[in-house]
Structure 1
């Protein structure tokens, strides 16, 4: 069912660089080989659709359940005190904390990374991160997307990252919203969160030498431009790279090759995507002759399409939804620096061949021997003659030899190992690039991949005990009973630890030392509210005025000058 990838540590190194220092995580990465699939973009009339391949990637992250730790409100230790604590000494139990699914669609013209699903279980606070430390979920999603972008780059081929943000209590882990410890993003907060996940990809240092241009696009149906701009990251160097709008004309290669193409050729068909379902509705309501021409009845422009999206599908449910794109335009030079797919520099990417048409021959057919013989004679009607068919000589079959003699028994062939042929395919073609560094630890068939992801939807993560059992079952099912997965130790230092080191020599006098939780002035109110911590011990307060001086000055503020008081004259 599965095949281990010979690969490597490129993803593990990238994830360990963004995980908190000293904490251990278990990484499970599944993928499928590139498989032929239906084209994302509809072809113009009388044209063949693009030959398209799709590969699935699923990343699951788990942590060890500390022994003796329950789901109660705890006071966390100060920064740097977790190295010898018991939160890293589990008893072999683990629980999933994050699941991320992405699909990679490749053609001869483009590579599209579509974020299908992302969800967390809410058990990450069991790790016992120091106060003020940001949740590593956003950094994990950003690092995984950057890993796929890095290892799916092809010379002269455009790359697009696309997703649809829709707030929901749970996507991959049933029951995770019931235990009350999961931080569920609002619709507004989820769109902002995804913008911050993808923002580091726009400002990567290697973009200037690997890509000609990198832009981010966002569309929130029903919001004005100034309201949409408030969702983008503020104060970052990449703020100028965000565009309020859609890149449909830039993503589809038909818009670059033709003077005019139907609108339906510019809108991709993703699974479980609202704009794809709206496109199917427009196709169904159009007349047959309009369907042949690729035009619609009620929508005549992309601007009108997005205006109507605010009243269709999930966009009309009363909650904000967002469409986000990152477009990486390739460098046109043949000798571009950076990683280039093997064979792409020497072999140009061929376009999809057009449909072949049978055209009648315009040349005069050669005359037959009968016409040559009667060319100069008198005209007479030519009667149809019977076609002379030469009988082919009969083939004589050799008689089979009857086996005689002693029968030699054959030894049975014992199957000592399980082998599949998932890896027996080229890693680079004109339509996809499948490097070893970009593959998962487990490479499975497409049918097995769907079954593995579907298995998560039938498990229960409502309580810690159920989540442990569900994690154990899922890991065992994927590995077919064998142990798999990689353990990673984080290397990202905590920002809170550096802040505590800077405030220690200042002598604020707020506590005894960094070894006790009360001295640092930080306490977790509830372990389910991730990031809601009290950092009053790190804030320098304004000194209070002297009590004696305050007492002397207080009576003077209550005395009113007698000349300003007008008394009512007494009546005689």
Structure 2
């Protein structure tokens, strides 16, 4: 199902991309789908109703009349009654950006694309009385989304430290839009706001690094602006639905998340809940109180992060950076979040992670160091909607009017999610079709230019067939002319930095 061309997103890219850069943008997404809660519920309470939708942005070039993918990023949007969470699931490049032969000193188009797309979604998804948090973890890997791309000698694979710095540079300009040292807005922990009614602040945790070492990853950390925008801490307590929650209820569990694996292990320490026995048995059966939801070995968030540094993912000479950007309305009552106004009376969700934590080693096991494109939770995608009949097993069905109507009939806003028309993908796919598109991507090959162009064509055509759209994607021509800088060498060092 194709929606109207995203001219606003097109304009955002065109305004910020360097002059001479020409790309074709493909933006697809899914409708909000009920999923397991990413935050554990406190003892005796039901998990919070949570919805997830996926956004996938593919960027291609056209060096010789053929589409050739150079970059892609997947973002999962989780919404509840009290919080909106944007989670950067994966980002990867193919290394073929060098075919554009951009002049020396050209700012990194991939970083600009990432910053612009994140800012676009943040602006579209902010609710006036809810917090919004952007969350990601930077873990160095040679390829995430494009199989075989590591064989391209032009692909710049960043190491762990380089990748953490890259993502901080991606997020820092977004914080600058809402806060700057010269602004007269409100302050929170040193942060300011240039846009009325919104406070922003960045947070970075690198297990195994002290405050001084962590500061080294943050742009401009030695200046007042960098110190105001960022803290070497985390915002997890502020994100809690209510005060004084157990630590396990403050740590979100995302797909393929190192800290989620540790949380799952710590949960084995929790005793089983035992309720008071019937009165007829009270003399023979001892009464045991319900557990408090707190771990035995880890009793604070600081201790949790300290122990994370000894985990396999964060040790053995490798670093993993956990990054947040928090956007808070000025008028938000800290003592009473909107999510606390109503009781959750619906059936509880499964107490499971959105996807199996070892999903990188399942369907893509034959592709070393790969992870599936699809990682958002959807146990029963759109099960309440009258979509395709299970009796039709076609691998690439063309959606009918009933399916389009079912998606379009979903409300734009409920108490648990916000789904404005303006921020949806040019193509909106059902959850199952989105997963199949992701699985196809992992079966393609981007080892050389010829094969990569063929793989790009197959992926674009598969999405078109599943959505019933013959042609999709929109062209962007960069309009920004950067000022002349004497230190050209310093600029060139960042010109083609690509997340690995």
1:274 paired residue among 258, 263, 284:
258
Asked if 1 retains the 8 angstrom alpha-carbon contact of 2:40 and 2:47, the reply is yes
Structure 2 residue 231 is the aligned partner of structure 1 residue 247: no
Structure 2 residue 216 is the aligned partner of structure 1 residue 230: yes
Q: CA RMSD in A?
A: 2.8
Pick closer, same or farther for the CA change 1:319–1:463 going to 2, 3 Å. Answer: same
Matched with 1:293 is 292
Q: Report the CA distance between 1:134 and its aligned residue.
A: 2.1
Asked if 1 retains the 8 angstrom alpha-carbon contact of 2:178 and 2:199, the reply is no
CA-to-aligned-CA distance 1:348-373 (integer Å, 9 cap, x gap): 777441559xxxxxxxxxxxxxxxxx
Q: 2:256 aligns to what SS in structure 1?
A: coil
Q: Report the CA distance between 1:16 and its aligned residue.
A: 1.1
Matched with 2:317 is 318
Matched with 1:470 is 455
Q: Distance in 2 between matches of 1:22 and 1:118?
A: 24
Q: 2:195 aligns to what SS in structure 1?
A: helix
Matched with 1:53 is 51
Q: Which has the larger radius of gyration?
A: 1
Pick closer, same or farther for the CA change 1:277–1:499 going to 2, 3 Å. Answer: closer
2:267 paired residue among 279, 283, 300:
283
Pick closer, same or farther for the CA change 1:312–1:15 going to 2, 3 Å. Answer: same
Asked if 2 retains the 8 angstrom alpha-carbon contact of 1:176 and 1:462, the reply is yes
1:122 paired residue among 95, 99, 106:
95
Q: Report the CA distance between 1:211 and its aligned residue.
A: 3.9
Q: Report the CA distance between 1:241 and its aligned residue.
A: 1.6
Pick closer, same or farther for the CA change 1:57–1:530 going to 2, 3 Å. Answer: closer
Matched with 1:309 is 308
Q: Distance in 2 between matches of 1:264 and 1:27?
A: 39
Q: Report the CA distance between 1:22 and its aligned residue.
A: 3.2
Pick closer, same or farther for the CA change 1:274–1:528 going to 2, 3 Å. Answer: closer
Pick closer, same or farther for the CA change 1:217–1:28 going to 2, 3 Å. Answer: same
Pick closer, same or farther for the CA change 1:477–1:332 going to 2, 3 Å. Answer: same
Q: Report the CA distance between 1:212 and its aligned residue.
A: 3.9
Matched with 1:31 is 29
Q: Distance in 2 between matches of 1:115 and 1:484?
A: 24
Q: Distance in 1 between matches of 2:125 and 2:22?
A: 28
Asked if 1 retains the 8 angstrom alpha-carbon contact of 2:12 and 2:116, the reply is yes
1:422 paired residue among 407, 423, 440:
407
2:442 paired residue among 447, 454, 457:
457
Asked if 2 retains the 8 angstrom alpha-carbon contact of 1:211 and 1:331, the reply is yes
- Mark the runs of 5 or more structure 2 residues left unpaired by the alignment: 180-192, 274-288, 347-398
Provide the TM-score with structure 2 as the length reference: 0.76
Pick closer, same or farther for the CA change 1:251–1:299 going to 2, 3 Å. Answer: same
Asked if 2 retains the 8 angstrom alpha-carbon contact of 1:211 and 1:328, the reply is no
Matched with 1:353 is 343
Structure 2 residue 476 is the aligned partner of structure 1 residue 488: yes
CA-to-aligned-CA distance 1:180-214 (integer Å, 9 cap, x gap): 11011111111011000000111105843344421
Structure 2 residue 302 is the aligned partner of structure 1 residue 329: no
Asked if 1 retains the 8 angstrom alpha-carbon contact of 2:17 and 2:480, the reply is yes
Q: Distance in 2 between matches of 1:15 and 1:239?
A: 29
The 5 Å alignment of 1:175-214 reads 175-204=148-177, 207-214=193-200
Q: 2:76 aligns to what SS in structure 1?
A: strand
- Mark the runs of 5 or more structure 1 residues left unpaired by the alignment: 66-89, 335-347, 357-414, 504-520, 532-572
Q: Report the CA distance between 1:485 and its aligned residue.
A: 0.5
Q: Report the CA distance between 1:303 and its aligned residue.
A: 1.1
Pick closer, same or farther for the CA change 1:173–1:34 going to 2, 3 Å. Answer: same
CA-to-aligned-CA distance 1:413-472 (integer Å, 9 cap, x gap): xx9968522111111122221111111000011111122122211111001111011001
Q: Distance in 2 between matches of 1:213 and 1:242?
A: 12
Matched with 1:113 is 86
CA-to-aligned-CA distance 1:40-73 (integer Å, 9 cap, x gap): 11111111211111110000000002xxxxxxxx
- How many residues are treated as equivalent by the alignment? 406
Q: 1:249 aligns to what SS in structure 2?
A: helix
Pick closer, same or farther for the CA change 1:528–1:479 going to 2, 3 Å. Answer: farther
Matched with 1:94 is 67
Asked if 2 retains the 8 angstrom alpha-carbon contact of 1:160 and 1:325, the reply is yes
Q: Distance in 2 between matches of 1:134 and 1:476?
A: 31
Q: 1:113 aligns to what SS in structure 2?
A: strand
Q: Report the CA distance between 1:6 and its aligned residue.
A: 2.8
Q: Distance in 2 between matches of 1:145 and 1:530?
A: 19
Asked if 2 retains the 8 angstrom alpha-carbon contact of 1:181 and 1:529, the reply is no
